[in-house]
Amino acid sequence: MVKQSASRQDPGQFVSPVGGHVQAGENLESALMRETKEELGLAKFQFKYIGKYTFNRKIRQHIENHFFIIFEIYSDQTPILNEESQSYRKFTLNELKKLLKTKPQLFGAAFHIVVEKIYGDFA
């Protein structure tokens, strides 16, 4: 997971490491490949489709609808972060479950929604 830079949504909190927009005419796999390269510097990785969810969120003074198309990505490459992230950390599944319960403020709002809506009883 990546810790967001001060200029991003959920600053200083851990979020899913890849997010972005699908461009007009772009298929989902191409968007995933492009965004993963931009945000993590990863060109070679495997992925698995997990699900989708719409998250209505208040950002500053307006409401935004975020449509998440969720993939798990797997790579043995070392991430190369861009300006959107200040650091990254790997969590074991047990660490993640424990921290989501004991220190939920470490994680961005959208990550909580993904865990709840997509993974159900994960936390």
Q: Using CA atoms, how far apart are residues 113 and 105, in angstroms rounded to an integer? A: 13
Contact 28, 121 (CB under 8 A): no
Take residue 101 and report the two structure tokens written for it. Answer: 């319960």
- CATH, residue 11: 3.90.79.10
Beta pairing class for 14-15 and 46-59 = unpaired
pLDDT digits (tens, 9 = 90+) for 53-69: 888 877 778 888 888 89
pLDDT attached to residue 42: 95
Q: What is the pLDDT of residue 67?
A: 86
Domain hosting 62: range is: 2-122
Asked whether the predicted pLDDT for residue 119 surpasses 70, the reply is yes
What's the domain count of the chain? 1
pLDDT tens by residue, 1-50: 999 999 988 899 999 889 888 999 999 999 999 999 999 999 999 999 99
Looking at residue 81, what is its pLDDT? 94
